[in-house]
Amino acid sequence: MSHIITLEQLKKTLADKISSGAQVVAPTLRGELAFFQKIDDVNQAVLEPRVRFQNSIKEFFFPRHETIFSFVRQGSDVQLVDAPEFDVEQIVVGARPCDAASLPILDPLFAWDYQDRFFQSRRAKSTVVVFACKTSDAHCFCTAVGGAPDSTNGADAILFALDDGSFEVRCVTDKGKALFSGKTQESDKTGAACAPPSVDFDVEKIATWIRGNFASPVWEEISYRCVGCGACAFVCPTCHCFDIVDEGSYSKGKRVKNWDSCQTVLFTLHASGHNPRATQGARQRQRMMHKFVIYPDKFNAKLCTGCGACSRSCGVSFGVRPALEELAKVANQSENN
Amino acid sequence: METELRNAIRKLLEEKTVDVAIGYGRVGVNGAVGATFVTNPDDVDRLVWNNECRQNLATHLTRAEIKKLGKPAIVVKACDARAVVVLCNEAQIKREDVYVIGVVCDGIETADAAGNKTGALMGKCLSCVEHAAKNVDLLIGDEAAAKALDEKNAPNAKSVGHYEKLAKLRAMSQKERFEYWREQFSKCIRCHACRQNCPLCYCNRCVADKNRPTRIDTSSSLKGNFAWNILRAFHLAGRCVGCGACAAACPAGIELDLLNLTLANAAEDQFGYVSGKELGELPLIGTYSPTDKEEFIR
Amino acid sequence: MENIYMPDPMEVVEVKQQTADIKLIRIKFRDPEKNANFKFNIGQFGLYSVFGVGESTFNICCSNSKDYIEFCFRKTGRVTERLWDVEPGDTIGFRGPFGNSYPMKEWEGKNLVFVAGGIAMPPIRCAILYALENRDKYGKITIVYGARTVNDLVCKDELDEWAQYPNVDVLKTVDVAPPEGTPWNGRVDFVPTVLKDSNITGDNAVALVVGPPIMIKLSLPILVEAGFKDEDIFTSLENRMKCGLGKCGRCNCGSVYVCKEGPVFTQADIKNMPNDY
């Protein structure tokens, strides 16, 4: 016995949430491209499984730009005003399983030792509904990093699109159950995800190679084509590096947290002029190490869900999958030697 | 053409005329085309030439990692060749320090959201009247065919492709136009892919990265985004060659090529200036002529 | 929930100019209760704010027995250029203390060798001040400190004070001889040369070495030759940081986060870390 929800019922469920004051985030079309956005009207949402979105739902847990506090100078004293805590219910619907999977990966980062309330309050207030994948493309490699087209990691509920336009609903958590309770009908129809994307490289083997080859010239060689922008990091659901900057004037302003990328020259540049990662090769190495060595060492999870957003967005046809494929060649070679 | 290109590059590398060839190869996911760097003459078969060669490779000429490889040969389409000319005119490279291989290009196809080619030509290609690269050391391809294409496109060049979009933009009221760019810029995530992929954004430290003082907000707030995108467009005014590398690289799909075209078009309309046409040409901004329209010049 | 990025407002109590571009600033929490309860370990660092300008990372360079915090900086960037202008009574921000610390307890009963170059004196000063305050707990103390010129020496007056303590050798040196007639009671040599001449031995001793990479590189073989083991040679790394909390992702050397597991490392630790500093 399964539970199904029609598209109309799903829309009504979301519309009711919007009118109850919740923040609903759903895929929308801007021009021909799909973006996750906060919607005011449920008809803005494009409720169908898709492979490509221009942004990750990460943005609604770890915004690209967020005020930490504001300040006003009064004579020689400074008044600090804390940023308001995120305090509305948030429903994120339509994410790919590989996008939602980043959330439990990022949880320990924002909670080890120091507790980052900005991420945590959004997590606590959010319900995440994923759509099981119906298609994959050549950029997808979730299977290489433990994911699947019907993975429920990070999801509170997973919806399987059925041929008649309705969805089979499988609730994963109490939050998911609360959202769909009373909204579904029992049925004997069941949905299924597409076949898992195929990969012909072994991430563990590559990680072992990375661990032992910090000084390899391969890093420079594979990075010649990288032009050092932040697109891969900013579209990545797991990349979480950030900058802290002050905005406004000396007398009145705010401190903000902005997304940052390890691919830029400035990321590690010291005021003295020294830069520990002075070349693009060193910066690509950092990115791959962070994903497949450092984060697993620290938090027992790969910092990659195999979503392929990086390579889809890269202006020079690079990204994690092409990098892994290049590294697999050298890893296999060194294993055979 | 591809074979001819590979042979030419093999010879250049064998004879040590150049140390590295910057060309296109199938380097990305599912054979997606991207920049490829060949230093060994035996590796020239990695190079390709087809209508998926979207990138402007001139971007790599000024990157420190590539300069370290020695004297380059570079494969350029006509639009990319204009960027090489501007780099020379702006003293970023010396023309004799680079071997420029032009290719005859009959248009580059756009890619869809999945990265597959669509069969439709890029906007800049629909209005292209320069199918054979100029100011090159070697041209590969049929020059006569290129000329025929130039002539075919010439009559409608200013009304099709991205000029069609420009006309639509011009027809908008000021308020509508502002709304249009507000929507476009609100998508900006400040990844600076536009800048990093632009051959003419070679500044050692971009004004967006300067913090003593900070001139524009680094945040991807609407204010920061407006400041960044307008500032970049103005810095490219009279310089942009219309290669479209910025728009092609933008992960948010912002129509940056259209933004830059508004200024390039103004340069052409007002001053008859087309960037990157001639080696040795003075920059539009930073020079003046008694024939300039403004009274104060005289 | 608490905001971990929120600094505390601090009152600037004293500003001491050290060189043409180095100042030492003493600050106190504006909140007296916080000031009374603040604790830190020797070698930890803080993040110091000029509101509206930004935040910068510096070691807390005083001893932890005081009711204030001191830090020292060189005017080189956006934040330090504005810090240069602060005066007593002004308000700046502080977050911390962060990171690990020098094992001052474990060092008890041992001889201490401090080696510093230029602006790297402050991260060693805290340990020197602590050791002098607890003079009977430590053996012989040797301080080798050098700068490019006499005018580049930080904590110049204190060096002579420290030399007054029993069983403390202060070996000052400059790379460039001062102009004729300038009073100078130190040497004209590079730090490693002075270190080599200092008759130190690694027996029951630890060394703390902070300074420019070239000074560290040339000092290490001398320490090894004197019998110091990698585990007994300490340093403090200064990777660029933003959060200080192990989150912003830029200060790491491989899997080691300098802001969390550092900034204090032994030579043995460093040998196991990728060269990313």
CA distance B204 to chain C (A): 17
What per-residue confidence (pLDDT) applies to C267?
Answer: 95
Burial of A187 (0-12, 13-18, 19+ CB in 10 A): middle
Residue ranges with strand state E in chain A:
2-5, 23-30, 33-39, 65-74, 77-82, 90-95, 126-131, 157-161, 167-171, 185-187, 242-248, 252-259
Query: How close, in Å, is residue B163 to chain C by CA atoms?
Result: 44
Residue C52: closest CA among chain B residues belongs to which residue?
B214
**Structure confidence at residue B298 as a pLDDT band (50, 70, 90):** low
How many whole angstroms separate alpha carbon A94 and alpha carbon A50?
Answer: 9
Of C127, C140, C108, give the one whose Cα is nearest residue C209: C127
C78–B contact, CB cutoff 8 A: yes
The whole-number pLDDT of residue B11 equals: 98
Task: Report the gap between the CA of A14 and the closest CA in chain B (Å).
Answer: 24
A250–C52 CB contact, under 8 Å? yes
Q: A17 to chain C, minimum CA–CA distance in Å?
A: 26
Q: Which residues pair with C252 in a beta bridge?
A: C257
Smallest CA–CA separation between B46 and chain A, in Å?
14
CB contact under 8 A, B214 and A245: yes
Range from B207-211, C150-154, C255-259, C265-269 carrying the lowest mean pLDDT: B207-211
Residues 6 or more apart from C66 whose CB is under 8 A from it? Answer: none
Q: Contact, A180 vs A132, CB < 8 A?
A: no
Chain B residues in contact with A308 by the CB 8 A cut-off are 29
As a whole number of angstroms, the distance between CA A327 and CA B13 comes to 26
| Minimal-distance CA residue of chain C relative to B211 | C78
- The model's pTM: 0.94
Mean pLDDT of B259-274: 92
Structure letter (DSSP) for residue B117: E
Average pLDDT over residues A33-55: 95
Identify all chain C residues contacting B211, using CB atoms and an 8 Å cutoff: 54, 78
Chain B nearest-CA residue for A51:
B114
Q: Write the DSSP symbol of residue A253.
A: E
CA distance B215 to chain C (A): 12
**CATH topology classification for C111-236:** Rossmann fold (3.40.50)
Q: How confident is the model at residue C51 (pLDDT cuts 50, 70, 90)?
A: very high
Residue boundaries of the structural domains of chain A: 2-336
Determine the straight-line distance between the first and last CA of chain C, rounded to whole angstroms: 34
Residue A209: its H or E element: helix A203-212
Chain C residue with Cα closest to B210? C78
The overall average pLDDT reported for chain A is: 95
Supply the mean pLDDT for chain C: 95
Closest residue of chain A to C96, computed from CA coordinates? A114
Strand partners for A33: A30
Contacts B217 to A, Cβ<8 Å: 247
Contacts of B214 in chain C (CB under 8 A): 78
Q: Do A315 and B252 touch (CB under 8 A)?
A: no
Bridge partners for A243 per DSSP: A258
State the DSSP code for A293.
I
- Residues in chain C within 8 Å Cβ distance of B212: 77-78, 81
Size of interface A-B (CB pairs under 8 A): 143
- What is the secondary structure of chain C as a DSSP string? ---TTPPEEEEEEEEEE-SSSEEEEEEEESSHHHHHH----TT-EEEEEETTTEEEEEE--S-TTSSSEEEEEES-SHHHHHHTT--TT-EEEEEEEES----TTTTTTSEEEEEEEGGGSHHHHHHHHHHHHTGGGS--EEEEEEESSGGG-SSHHHHHHHHTSTTEEEEEEESSPPPTT----SEES-HHHHHHTTT---TTEEEEEES-HHHHHHHHHHHHHTT--GGGEEEE-----SSSSS-S--SEETTEETTTT-SEEEHHHHHTS-S--
CATH 3.40.50.80 in chain C: give the residue spans.
Answer: 111-236
Q: Which of A76, A242, A269 sits opposite C89 (nearest CB)?
A: A76
Which chain B residues are within 8 Å of A52, Cβ to Cβ? 113-114
Q: How far from the centroid of its chain's Cα atoms is residue B68's Cα?
A: 23
Separation between Cα atoms, residue A25 and residue A119, nearest integer Å: 16
> How many contacts, defined by CB atoms under 8 Å, are there between A and C?
132
Nearest to C159 by CA among C207, C198, C107, C121: C121
Q: Is the CB of residue B205 less than 8 Å away from at least one CB of chain C? A: no
Whole-angstrom Cα Rg for chain C = 18
| pLDDT above 80: residue B295 | no
- In sequence order, the β-bridge partners of residue C16 are C24
Task: Determine the longest span between alpha carbons in chain A, in angstroms.
Answer: 71
CA distance linking residue C31 with residue A99, whole number of Å? 44
Q: What is the mean pLDDT of residues A226-233?
A: 97
| Chain C, nearest residue to B213 by Cα | C78
Chain B nearest C-alpha distance from A314 (Å) = 7
Q: Are C2 and A78 in contact (CB under 8 A)?
A: no
CA atoms within 13 A on the CB side of C123: 31
Point out the residue among A116, A245, A297 whose CB comes nearest to the CB of C4: A116
The alpha carbon of C155 is separated from its chain's Cα centroid by a whole number of angstroms, namely 11
Tens digits of residue pLDDT in B100-117 = 999 999 999 988 777 778
Tell me the shortest Cα–Cα distance from A79 to chain C, in angstroms: 8
Q: The sheet that has C8-17: what strands, in order across it?
A: C54-59, C45-50, C91-98, C8-17, C22-29, C69-74
Q: Between A82, A113, A297, which is nearest C246 by CB?
A: A113
The CATH code of the domain at C8-98 is 2.40.30.10
- pLDDT tens-digit profile of B148-172? 999 999 999 999 988 999 999 999 9
Q: Provide the token pair at C89.
A: 């009574």
**How does pLDDT run across B36-81, given as a tens digit for each residue?**
999 999 999 999 999 999 999 999 999 999 999 999 999 999 999 9
The DSSP output letter for A152 is: -
C contacts of A207 (beta carbons < 8 Å): none
Please tell me which of the candidates A76, A117, A294 has its beta carbon nearest to residue C91. A76
Q: ∠ at Cα B93 (B92, B95), nearest 5°?
A: 140
Query: Which residues make beta-bridge pairs with A45?
Result: A28
- Gap between the Cα atoms of A199 and C83, Å rounded: 54
Residue A151 has a CB neighbour count (10 Å cut-off) of 23
Average pLDDT taken over every residue of chain B: 93
Reported confidence tier of residue A308, pLDDT bands at 50, 70, 90: very high
Q: Which chains touch A (3 or more CB pairs under 8 A)?
A: B, C
Tokens for A233, please give them: 């990091």
Would you state the torsion angle of the CA atoms of residues B66, B72, B76, B80, taken in this order, to the nearest 10 degrees?
50
CB contact under 8 A, C5 and A115: no
Partner-chain residue, chosen from C2, C53, C240, that has the shortest CB–CB distance to A117 = C2
Beta carbons of C52 and A293 less than 8 Å apart: no
Task: Give C78's contacts in chain B (Cβ within 8 Å).
Answer: 211-214
Nearest to A267 by CA among A251, A254, A281, A278: A278
Burial pattern A292-331, b for ≥16 Cβ within 10 A else e, equals: bbbbbebbebbbbbbbbbbbbbbbbbbbbbbbbbbbbebb
* Residue B296 pLDDT exceeds 70: no
**Tens-place pLDDT, residues C90-100:** 999 999 999 99
CA distance A231 to chain B (A): 5
| Chain C partners (3+ C-beta pairs within 8 A) | A, B
Give the separation between CA A293 and CA B259, rounded to whole angstroms.
42
Classify residue B14 as left (phi > 0), alpha (psi -120 to 50) or beta: alpha
User: Hey, CA dihedral for C11, C17, C18, C19, is it positive or negative?
Assistant: positive
What percent of chain C has a predicted confidence (pLDDT) above 90?
Answer: 92
pLDDT, position B98: 98
Task: Give me the pLDDT at residue C207, please.
Answer: 97
Contact A27, A20 (CB under 8 A): no
Chain B nearest CA to A186, separation (Å): 36
DSSP reduced 3-state for A258: strand
Is 90 exceeded by the pLDDT of residue A245? yes
Measuring CA to CA, how many Å separate C114 from each of B251, C19, C86, C137, C141?
52, 21, 31, 16, 8
CB contact under 8 A, C7 and A240: no
Among C25, C36, C9, which Cα is nearest to C69's? C25
Partner-chain residue, chosen from B193, B219, B252, that has the shortest CB–CB distance to A258: B219
Q: How many CA atoms lie within 13 A of A38 on its CB side?
A: 12
* Candidates B28, B196, B251; nearest CB to A228: B196
Which residues in chain A are closer than 8 Å to B113, comparing Cβ atoms? Answer: 32-34, 51-52, 312
Q: Given a cut of 70, is residue C27 above it in pLDDT? A: yes
From the list A233, A232, A99, A313, the residue with the least C-alpha distance to B252 is A313
- Report pLDDT digits (tens) over A101-151: 999 999 999 998 899 999 999 999 999 999 999 999 999 999 999 999 999
Contacts with C, A 94-153, CB within 8 Å: 109-110, 112-117, 120-121
DSSP-derived 3-state class of residue B38: strand
Which distant-in-sequence residues (6+ apart) come within 8 Å of C71 by Cβ? C24, C25, C27, C46, C48, C58, C59, C60, C61, C122
pLDDT at A107: 98
With an 8 Å Cβ cutoff, are A230 and B193 in contact?
A: yes
Q: How many CB pairs under 8 A join B and C?
A: 7
- Cβ-based contacts of C80 with chain B (< 8 Å): none
Q: Show the tokens assigned to C39.
A: 């604790």
Closest to B82 measured CA to CA, from B216, B218, B247, B281: B281
